[in-house]
């Protein structure tokens, strides 16, 4: 048993793809036309870190209720955790790509960590070895 996908509600598919692929270095696994349950067009967009098993389904907000959670899916808390082997290289690459970090890197018992915002404003931890 495993978690295959986690959904992240975004404003725009293409901006989200650009962020995850270009800024974070994820792979675009799938971008397929689809339709909502009531027949309106949408896309099935999945990104995943290279070598990762769990992907992120980028789901475009559909309606006022979903629009309201874009950027606040975790009530202001860190809700997603990106583990990397080389913290400094990942941090430098992400800063160079314009990713906004809201904390400076720091050492914790579980490794190095810095909090960054995704394309929608959700908080993530960048985690690396101690």
Partnered with residue 57 across adjacent β-strands are 7, 46
In a structure prediction context, what are the per-residue pLDDT tens digits for the chain, which is 130 residues long? Answer: 999 999 999 999 999 999 999 999 999 999 999 998 899 999 999 999 999 999 999 999 999 999 999 999 999 999 999 999 999 999 999 999 999 999 999 999 999 999 999 999 999 999 999 9
pLDDT of residue 36: 87
pTM equals 0.93
- Rg of the chain, C-alpha, whole Å: 15
Pairing verdict, β 111-117 and 123-128: antiparallel
pLDDT of residue 22: 96
Pairing verdict, β 123-128 and 27-35: unpaired
């Amino acid at each position: 048993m495993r978690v295959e996908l986690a959904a992240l509600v975004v404003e725009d598919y293409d901006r989200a793809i650009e962020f995850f692929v270009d800024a974070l270095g994820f792979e675009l696994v799938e971008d397929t036309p689809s339709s909502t349950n009531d027949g309106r067009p949408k896309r099935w967009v999945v990104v995943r870190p290279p070598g990762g098993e769990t992907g992120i389904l980028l789901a475009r907000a559909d309606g006022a209720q979903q629009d309201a959670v874009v950027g606040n899916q975790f009530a202001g808390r860190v809700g997603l955790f990106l583990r990397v082997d080389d913290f400094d290289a990942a941090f430098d690459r992400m800063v160079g790509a314009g990713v906004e970090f809201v904390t400076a890197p720091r050492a914790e018992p579980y490794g190095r960590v810095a909090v960054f915002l995704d394309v929608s404003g959700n908080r993530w931890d960048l985690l690396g070895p101690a």
